[in-house]
Amino acid sequence: GGGRILSAPLSTGRLGPGPGGRAILFDSRRGEDWVLIIVGGLPEGTGPYQGYVVMQGGRYSLGRLWPSAPGEMTTYKIFSRRDLAVSGSVVVLDRDGNLALRGTLSAGA
């Protein structure tokens, strides 16, 4: 880990207003990397929603997104034994496994 903070705006990929949010990944120097997702505007009827960080060779669960404020949901996970430095993106899937939101992680986002 390099102590870097990576960020990804999360969106549906469609133009115009709609659901969205942000993912933040901290690449710790001491091996406790973490990811936080905060989203809003997702329809309640297609939940529950699950967050994942996508890395080379796999997709790792961040867990279920839970209400954190009116119209907002979050999830957070610490990875004590996995280096997230090679993570490329974060995705949020609906209850049927369909893509709800996606974002590409970068240091400048």
The per-residue pLDDT for range 21-65, each reduced to its tens digit, is: 999 988 877 778 889 999 999 988 888 999 999 887 788 899 999
What local confidence, expressed as pLDDT, does residue 28 receive?
A: 77
Alpha carbons 24 and 3: distance in angstroms, whole number? 13
**DSSP per residue, 88-103:** -EEEEE-TTS-EEEEE
- Residue closest to 77 by CA, chosen among 60, 91, 94: 60
User: Which pLDDT band holds residue 82 (cuts at 50, 70, 90)?
Assistant: low
Cα–Cα distances in angstroms (integers) from residue 88 to residues 23, 38, 46, 58, 69, in the given order = 12, 18, 25, 11, 28
Give pTM, 2 decimals: 0.86
Instruction: Tell me the sheet residues that pair with 92.
Output: 51, 101
Alpha carbons 52 and 34: distance in angstroms, whole number? 12
User: Which pLDDT band holds residue 84 (cuts at 50, 70, 90)?
Assistant: low
User: Which pLDDT band holds residue 16 (cuts at 50, 70, 90)?
Assistant: low
What local confidence, expressed as pLDDT, does residue 45 receive?
A: 84
